Amino acid sequence: MRGFFVGIFVSLLSWWGLWLIAALDSTMVFFLPLGVDIAVVILASRSRELFWMYSIVASAGSLCGAAVTYYVGRRIGEAGLERFVSKNRLMGFRRRVEEKGAVALAVLDLIPPPFPFTACILAAGALQVSTPLFFITLFLTRLVRFGAEAVLAYFYGRQIITWLKSETIEYIGMALLAAAVIGTAITTIQLVRKARAHRRPAGKRRVA
């Protein structure tokens, strides 16, 4: 079992694995806080001559996943958004859009986890902000975030590689993978329940 998890973890530490993790991380169902950031650091440390490429791959993958979430938001609209985002948070998103527009939501990506940026992307679609401006700003902010991490990995790569070779890190990787599977399953179940509640006719809804 250990070899199975380690094999998956190692295979994901490639340019295509990074793209996949980044894309999934921007969707509503995937759960792995700081997973993309960790992958960027590890890959940039292992291949220092290509450190610059990994920030671009991560940003591009993230943008693809964000596009899916954004257009889900467009489809459900502001009324449907209340099923997935708390009322207070939705009011905050709406206020930022009214005051500063699409850029105000996109730059929230610079706030580290556990800030729920996926909810922000969903809100951007539901509130119908400027699509080109939102995605250009989002790509640039992610490029800054992942680029800074790649640069740090470039300069401190040797120390990071030594650290990664330890057995402890192997177990941490397995734990993160297991957490991603469990967290994703829980998130998916919650989304399905909310979607069913939204579709249920008003007369058949439960009375509290």
- pLDDT tens-place string over residues 51-76: 999 999 999 999 999 999 999 999 88
In eight-state DSSP terms, residue 86 is -
Contact (CB, 8 A) for 114 and 33: yes
Nearest C-alpha neighbor of 10 from the set 59, 37, 43, 58 = 43
**Residue-level pLDDT at 206:** 43
Average pLDDT for 150-172: 73
pLDDT of 202 higher than 70: no
**Residue-level pLDDT at 3:** 43
Whole-model pTM?
Answer: 0.75
Contact (CB, 8 A) for 61 and 20: yes
Out of 41-55, 108-122, 123-137, 166-180, least confident range:
166-180
Average pLDDT for 98-118: 80
Out of 5-9, 85-89, 107-111, 164-168, least confident range:
5-9
- pLDDT tens-place string over residues 6-32: 444 555 678 888 898 899 888 887 777
More confident residue, 125 or 168: 125
Please tell me the distance from the alpha carbon of residue 80 to that of residue 77, in angstroms, as a whole number. 5
What type of residue sits at position 122? L
- pLDDT tens-place string over residues 180-193: 667 666 666 665 66
More confident residue, 48 or 195: 48
Out of 9-18, 71-80, 109-118, 191-200, least confident range:
191-200
Q: What is the mean pLDDT of the chain?
A: 78
Average pLDDT for 102-114: 79
Q: What share of the chain is helix, strand, coil (3-state, %, to 5)?
A: 80, 0, 20
